[in-house]
Structure 1
Amino acid sequence: MGLLTVAAATALGAGGAVVAAPVVLGAIGFTSVGIAAGSMAASMMSSAAIANGGGIAVGSTVAVLQSAGMAGLGTAATAGVATAGGTIAGALGGLAALII
């Protein structure tokens, strides 16, 4: 039962993370039309701009997240999100299998 639990948790975690990522990006303010005023994303952008003398550096966290918010996750980002979600959920599933 333990291996089946880990496999199921890993699959659900990977799929769930891929589905949730765009929702979470939008919720924190990285939207398809730009950064939402007054959001966490706006705060991040402000901090990054202050740290960089008024601009947002290409490839910075804010730039990458806004790109994903506007265009969606690319293939590499989707794979990364799925891997992270599957790994975390699989580990939690393995822990639950040991406890139960």
Structure 2
Amino acid sequence: MDPLTGLAIAAGAAGGVAVAPIALGVIGFTPVGVAAGSYAAAMMSAAAIANGGGVAAGSAVAVLTSTGSEQVVWVNGGAGTAAVVI
């Protein structure tokens, strides 16, 4: 792999990490839970109906809810920048 391709992959990965919390928030997976009336709420409702009243652990909705509730903090160190989930 040439250096330019490696750089493009690294930039894309970093961009994905930076944009993911924003994208989850836009569709309704927020740090304080699922926003009422959002796309995430519709997903949660459909998952609960399909599972007889509860959202299955490990399902896409459960994982997105957990991911949306995490706070991402950017840490600048001597070797570079890292995303730390707290």
TM-score, structure 1 as length reference? 0.66
Q: Which residue of 1 aligns with 2:46?
A: 47
Q: Which residue of 2 aligns with 1:24?
A: 23
Unpaired segments ≥5 residues, structure 1: 74-100
Shift of 1:38: 1.4
Letter in 1 for 2:54: G
Identical-pair percentage: 58
Q: Which residue of 2 aligns with 1:36?
A: 35
Unpaired segments ≥5 residues, structure 2: 73-86
Shift of 1:72: 4.1
The structure with more helix, counted as a fraction of residues? 1
The structure with more strand, counted as a fraction of residues? 2
Could you say what the CA RMSD is over the residues aligned between the two structures, in angstroms? 1.6
Dislocated runs of 4+, deviation >2 Å: 2-5
Give the whole-Å Cα distance in 2 for the aligned partners of 1:54 and 1:72.
28
In the comparison of the two structures, how many residue pairs are matched? 72
